[in-house]
Chain A
Amino acid sequence: MSQTLLISGPPGCGKTTWILNRIQSHSGPCGFLRLAGYPDEGLLQARDGGIDLAWLQDQCPGLLDLAEPDQALAPRPANLLALIELPQFQPPTDSGLAGVDRRVIPQLEALHLSPDEHLHFGRDHLLPRQDTLDFSSLQALERNLAGSVWDPASLSSFWFELVNGAYGDVYRAKALMNLPDGRAFFCNWMVSREGSQFLPLQTTASPDGRPQRLSRLVVQGKDLDPAAIEVTLADCLLSDALLELEQARLRQQEAPSHPSPAA
């Protein structure tokens, strides 16, 4: 039997992590949709730009993207677990499905999605609540990093500065970042948690030029300084020449040291 869950909550409360755990514990097919959410008074939503979907699809191969029109029209597989993520600052005024933000209903209907259950972080006991913060003011900053490749040590320094307040009071930061060896990392930080997560994607690219996959930085906080972030990014990302230099070294390491005998 199929099930559709709408999961809402404020930034960084653990929606995507909870959804990942649900998907991994479900034996049948799964689908995912991330709604953009709506700004509240003084609180801006960040444009995720596909980070959560890319991360989940990497961790759960075969995960259906429910935002695709083809998926909306196609017959849904039996036993489908459809998970809808909705960033939402304030708790719903009503419990259960009656508390679903009415503004998202048309989007869901267009995609032929009808939630069976609505869970909100901080309200429903089925969800963990220790990371739920009450925000009063929030700016958002997004940076498309498609095709960008980081000097690894510089990424470490930049992330350290970012989450420790060098570019404003950051409450939430997440990103997909490319390294020259073809790996990519999901970087995840929330002010209420200790330390950052640096989770490698399972899919890797060959160390040959700039990877084509999604790469993006999303930051939420107060008094953010986008100009200062840009200056640092420019000093951290590899030029074509340096990328080729590094990747040529990696390719040489990977090449067999002795030619195999001719057949």
Chain B
Amino acid sequence: MAHAVISCLHANLAALEAVLADIDQQGIDTITCLGDLVGYGPQPNEVVNLVRERQIPTCQGCWDEDIIEGLNACDCSYPSQLAERRGQLAHQWTADQLSEENRAFLASLPMSLWRDRQLFVHGSPNSQHEYLLPDMDAFAALERVESAGAETLFCGHTHRPYVRELRDGSIRVRVRQTPGEPAGVAEAEDRELRLPLRRIINAGSVGEPRHGNTHATYVIHHEDTNAVEIREVPYDVERTCRAIVDAGLPPIFAWRLRHGFEYAERADDASHVCER
């Protein structure tokens, strides 16, 4: 059995329609969405409506959360004043457009979804705002998966799809006896814990690709073989760009999307832990 995982739709209807058509064409009927249905893009209601119509299990992304609760992320969300101003403008526009029904839907989304020992989150198990970048410290990456009790962690948020296998991991700890322990016990003891294979699978982005071209990305997980396929789907980028301009959003958003650049720069500090 295969299932598809999509993320970071960002109100880009043309991209979502193309990705769903690609999934349908392969006969896959199990889809999981990792959030960020809205933000920056010009069709927030249309995208939410389509996800609801298709009854796609979805967890809440950082943009979905911000639209409900207001902007209160820490510095990691915006690496520059320019990105922050543009993000705030997009936030206000989206908040003004979103119907009450769709707002309630976003508010109802869970932080995470589980299927067996597969965990689905937007950013990390800690926060929708935390980036699990492909080159983050291996120990920190392993900690995120292991402490959540998952074997495989599906995430998005970085907009760059990747599969990272964390194998041959071990943790060496020194256990020190506390005062009052029975005499004759060694004061300190080294213990080494072997950790089993863990995987992080990032689904990339449907609506705001950041992997070097304009194609929408998502992943297919073949559960029988455990193989993961990163899919790139071309879509009608110009249709979304026209909609951005027609909606009155900044034309620079259309220019960035058309050239395969993200709307706002990503946070590059892989060691940063969101303080939100």
B is bound to A: yes
- Does B81 lie at the interface of the complex (its beta carbon under 8 Å from any beta carbon of A)? yes
Q: With a CB–CB cut-off of 8 A, which chain B residues contact A165?
A: 255
With contacts A157-B265, A164-B259 taken as known, whether A235 is within 8 angstroms of B81 at the C-beta atoms is yes
- Does B169 lie at the interface of the complex (its beta carbon under 8 Å from any beta carbon of A)? no
- Does A153 lie at the interface of the complex (its beta carbon under 8 Å from any beta carbon of B)? yes
Which of B79, B85, B250, B259 is in CB contact (< 8 Å) with A153?
Answer: B79
* Residues of chain A from 132 to 176 with CB closer than 8 A to chain B in the complex: 151, 153-154, 156-158, 161, 164-166
- Does B86 lie at the interface of the complex (its beta carbon under 8 Å from any beta carbon of A)? yes
**B244 nearest CB across to chain A (Å):** 14
* Residues of chain B from 80 to 124 with CB closer than 8 A to chain A in the complex: 80-83, 85-86
A238 to B80, CA, bound (A): 11
Which of A154, A164, A228, A242 is in CB contact (< 8 Å) with B82?
Answer: A154
Interface secondary structure of A, over-half rule: helix
Please encode chain B, from 138 to 163, with 1 for each CB lying within 8 Å of some chain A CB and 0 for all others. 00000000000000000000000000
| B252 lies within 8 A of A151 (CB) | no
Interface size band for B: 10 to 19
- Does A236 lie at the interface of the complex (its beta carbon under 8 Å from any beta carbon of B)? yes
- Does A196 lie at the interface of the complex (its beta carbon under 8 Å from any beta carbon of B)? no
A154 to B81, CA, bound (A): 6
- Does B251 lie at the interface of the complex (its beta carbon under 8 Å from any beta carbon of A)? yes
| B255 lies within 8 A of A151 (CB) | no
- Does A232 lie at the interface of the complex (its beta carbon under 8 Å from any beta carbon of B)? yes
* Residues of chain B from 47 to 100 with CB closer than 8 A to chain A in the complex: 79-83, 85-86
- Minimal Cβ-Cβ distance residue in B for A237: B81
| B255 lies within 8 A of A235 (CB) | no
A156 to B79, CA, bound (A): 11
With contacts A164-B259, A235-B85, A235-B86 taken as known, whether A156 is within 8 angstroms of B80 at the C-beta atoms is yes
With contacts A164-B259, A235-B86 taken as known, whether A153 is within 8 angstroms of B252 at the C-beta atoms is no
Q: Interface residue count for A (Cβ, 8 Å)? A: 17
| B81 lies within 8 A of A236 (CB) | yes
| A153 lies within 8 A of B80 (CB) | yes
- Does A231 lie at the interface of the complex (its beta carbon under 8 Å from any beta carbon of B)? yes
| A157 lies within 8 A of B83 (CB) | yes
- Minimal Cβ-Cβ distance residue in B for A158: B82
| A235 lies within 8 A of B251 (CB) | no
A235 to B80, CA, bound (A): 10
* Residues of chain B from 244 to 269 with CB closer than 8 A to chain A in the complex: 250-252, 255-256, 259, 265
Residue of B81, B86, B259 ringed by the most chain A CB atoms within 10 A: B81
| A228 lies within 8 A of B80 (CB) | no
Which of A157, A164, A242 is in CB contact (< 8 Å) with B80?
Answer: A157
Q: With a CB–CB cut-off of 8 A, which chain B residues contact A236?
A: 80-82
**B96 nearest CB across to chain A (Å):** 19
Q: With a CB–CB cut-off of 8 A, which chain B residues contact A157?
A: 80, 82-83, 265
Q: With a CB–CB cut-off of 8 A, which chain B residues contact A154?
A: 80-83
Q: With a CB–CB cut-off of 8 A, which chain A residues contact B251?
A: 228
Give 6 closest A-B pairs by Cβ, nearest first. A153-B80, A154-B82, A151-B81, A235-B85, A154-B80, A166-B255
For this complex, 22 residue pairs linking A to B, each with C-beta atoms less than 8 Å apart, are A151-B81, A151-B82, A153-B79, A153-B81, A153-B82, A153-B265, A154-B83, A157-B82, A158-B82, A161-B255, A164-B259, A165-B255, A166-B256, A228-B251, A231-B250, A232-B82, A232-B252, A235-B81, A235-B82, A235-B85, A235-B86, A242-B81
Further pairs besides A153-B83, A235-B81: 6, Cβ < 8 Å: A151-B81, A153-B79, A154-B81, A154-B83, A231-B250, A236-B80
